[in-house]
Amino acid sequence: MTVEPTPTDPAPERPRSSLLPMPTLGSPQTAVGSRQWLLWGALGIFLIGLGMRLWRLNEFPAPVFDEVYFPEFAQNYLDGKPFFDVHPPLGKYFIALSIQVFGRNEWGFRFATALCGSLIPLLLTGLAYRLTYHVGLALLSGALLLTDGIFLVESRFGLINVYLVAFGLAAAILLLGGLERRGWRRAVHFTGSGILLGAAVSVKWNGLWFAFMFALLGLLVWGVIWLRPQWIPRLGLLVQIRHLRWWHYAFCFILAPLVFYALQWIPHLQFNPQQGLTLDWSWAGIQNYFRALVAINQSIYGGQTAANLVVDEETPVHPYCSTSLRSLVAWFPALRPWLATRLGSAGAWSWPIMGRSVGYYFSSEDNLWRAVHGLGNPWLWWLGTGSILVLVGRGIRRFNGIEAFILIGYAANYLPWFMVSRCVFIYHYMSALAFSTLALAWLVILGWQSYQRFWRGVSLTAVALVLATLIFFFPIWFGLPLSPNGFYARMWFRSTPVPLFCFSPESCERTPLRLPPIPGLNWI
C-alpha cells in the first residue's frame, strides 16, 4: 500500500519570545530523558498518591457528603434491594466489590475509590509521556496533579467521580498508543480505548465529554488536511488519524463503547426490574432487556433534567452549587436580562477561578474545628487556567500538535457544561482540570528550557507556589484540627471582608486592609 505524500513544513522560524520553539508530538525515536527515570518516577507518584489517600482513611465515620448515596447503593446490590439512582451503575459496582473484601465499614466504602484516585496522577503521567515522550514533562504533570485538593478529597470517600476521570485518561492513552501501531495491534488498542470510553459514560453521563474530545481530534486532523495542508507535519502522531479505516470508527469507537455501556447494566436491571420486565436467555427475555435498558435511561434523563434541580434567584437548590454569572447582578444590574439566560445561569463559569468550594465534613470540639473542604489547590487552578489562555494565544500565532491536543482535551471536558443550567458542583471540573494541569506542566518545561533566566525563574516560582499551597491547605483536605482563625485563614474568599496581611486574631481585627466580598467567590 502506498502512502500519500504530505507537504513538507517550512523551515523552523526563530521564536519571537525567549521560549524554545514548539516541538510536535513526540515519538519513541525522539524521547527526552531516561525510561528508567520514568518508571521509577511514575512508581513514586503512584505510591505517594496511594499513601495520601489511604492515610487515616477510616477516620471520619460514614456517611460523609454523597456517601449517603453511593455506598448505600452498592450495599443494595449486595443485598438484592431495588433502588433508583440518577447515574449509571459502574462506579457503585467497584464500591460493592470493595465492600465484599473489607466489609461494611469505612474501609470497604472507600478503598476502591482511594485506589482508583491514586492511579489518576499516574495516568496523567502516562498520557503526557505518550503525547510528548518527554520524561520531565510526564513526571511533572503527575506530580502537579498530586497536589490538588479536589482529586484528593474525592478519592478519600466513597464517591464515584474519580472513576470517570481515570477511565477517560486511560482511553486517551490507548488512543495515542493505537495511533503508533499498525494492523491488529492498532485495532486492539482502539477497541480498548472505546471500551474505556464506554466505562467513563457508565460512571456518569458526562463521561461523554471524553468521546467528544476524540471526535474533535478527528475534526482537527481532517480540517488541517483539507484547509491547512502545510500544517500537516506539525500534527505529529495525530496525522495517523487520516489512515483509520471506516471499521475503526464503527467498531472501535462506536460499537465497542455502546456494547460495554449496555452490558454493564445487566446486574442493575436484574436487581431493579423496569416496568415488571424480567430478564432471561429466552427471546422474550432479551427483548425485555432492551426495553428495560431504554426505560432506565429515560428515567435517568428525567432525573437529570428535573425542574427542582434548576438554579434561579428564587429557589436555591444546594448551598454549594457552583456560582454562575447571575452573581454579578449585584454589581451590574443592567445585565440582569442576559445573566438570567441558560448561558448566564451555567455554574461552569466559576470553575476555572475556583469560585465555590464544597464542604464535605465539619465538626468542632474544644474550640478546634475539623473540616474537610472540597477546595482545589488555588495556585494549581489559577496557573492552570492561565496556561490554557497562554496556549490559546500561542495557537493563534502558530499551530502546534501537542498544544492543540491539550486545548481540545480541556475544551471538550469544560465547554459542554455551559449547556447545563441545573445545579452543578466544582468536582464536575475534574476532567478539565487534568488537562489544565498538563498545560501548566508543558509551559513550565518550556520556561525551564528557555534561553533567558527570567523564564526559568518563572517556571520555578510556579512550581514553588503550587507546592506551598499544598502544604498550607493540607489540613482542610484531611480534616486536621484547626483553630477557627486557622480555618478562616484558608478561606481566602467569603461573603464578608477578608483581612489582609495579618498573622494573629488581634492584628486581623485591627488591620484596615480588607478584601471586600466578590460576587461569585465564596469558599465557605
pLDDT at 437: 98
Segment 388-391 long-range contacts (CB within 8 Å, at least 24 positions apart):
388/352, 388/435, 388/436, 388/439, 390/439, 390/443, 391/439, 391/442, 391/443
pLDDT at 220: 96
Percent share of the chain, pLDDT over 70: 90
pLDDT digits (tens, 9 = 90+) for 138-159: 999 999 999 999 999 999 999 9
* Most confident of the ranges 124-133, 230-239, 315-324, 445-454: 124-133
**Residues 30, 50: Cα–Cα separation, whole Å:** 32
DSSP string for 75-87: HHHHHT-----SS
pLDDT digits (tens, 9 = 90+) for 217-271: 999 999 999 999 999 999 988 999 999 999 999 999 999 999 999 999 999 998 8
Asked whether the beta carbons of 141 and 441 are under 8 A apart, the reply is yes
Rounded to the nearest angstrom, the gap between the alpha carbon of residue 156 and the centroid of all alpha carbons in its chain is 16
Q: Spell 18-52 as b/e; 16+ CB within 10 A means b.
A: ebeebbbbbeeeeeebeeeebeebbeebbeebbeb
pLDDT at 3: 44
Task: Identify the H or E element spanning 17.
Answer: none
pTM: 0.91
Is 493 strand, coil or helix? coil
Which range among 66-70, 418-422, 472-476 shows the weakest confidence by mean pLDDT?
418-422
Residue 54 clears pLDDT 60, i.e. is over it: yes
Q: Which of 129, 126, 123, 122 is nearest to 26 (CA)?
A: 129
**Residues 425, 66: Cα–Cα separation, whole Å:** 12
Residue 378 clears pLDDT 50, i.e. is over it: yes
pLDDT digits (tens, 9 = 90+) for 194-205: 999 999 999 999
pLDDT at 399: 92
Mean pLDDT in the chain?
88
Residue 377 clears pLDDT 80, i.e. is over it: yes
Could you tell me which residues come within 8 angstroms of residue 440 by beta carbon, excluding any fewer than 6 positions away?
144, 380, 383, 384, 387, 462
pLDDT at 519: 77
Asked whether the beta carbons of 499 and 485 are under 8 A apart, the reply is no
pLDDT at 450: 82
Angle subtended by helix axes 35-54 and 135-146, to nearest 10: 10
Cell numbers representing residue 512 in the block: 484596615
Residue 29 clears pLDDT 70, i.e. is over it: no
pLDDT digits (tens, 9 = 90+) for 390-443: 999 999 999 999 999 999 999 999 999 998 878 889 999 999 999 999 999 999
CB neighbourhood size of 297 (10 A): 16
pLDDT at 499: 76
pLDDT digits (tens, 9 = 90+) for 313-358: 555 556 788 877 777 777 777 777 777 777 777 888 899 999 889 9
Cell numbers representing residue 276 in the block: 415488571
Residue 73 clears pLDDT 90, i.e. is over it: yes
Tell me the residue type at 495.
S
Residue 7 clears pLDDT 60, i.e. is over it: no
Asked whether the beta carbons of 440 and 144 are under 8 A apart, the reply is yes
Residue 31 clears pLDDT 70, i.e. is over it: no
**Residues 303, 152: Cα–Cα separation, whole Å:** 28
The residue ranking higher by pLDDT, 107 or 498, is: 107
pLDDT at 209: 97
DSSP string for 352-382: TTT-B-EEEEEEEETTEEEEEEE---HHHHH
Three-state SS across 421-456? CECCCHHHHHHHHHHHHHHHHHHHHHHHCCCCHHHH
Whether the link from the prior residue into 12 is cis, omega within 30° of 0, is: no
pLDDT tier for residue 26 given thresholds of 50, 70 and 90: low
Percent share of the chain, pLDDT over 90: 65
Residue 14 clears pLDDT 60, i.e. is over it: no
Angle subtended by helix axes 453-478 and 135-146, to nearest 10: 30
Asked whether the beta carbons of 427 and 162 are under 8 A apart, the reply is no
pLDDT tier for residue 33 given thresholds of 50, 70 and 90: low
Q: How far is CA 293 from CA 27, 264, 298, 373, in A?
A: 43, 11, 9, 37
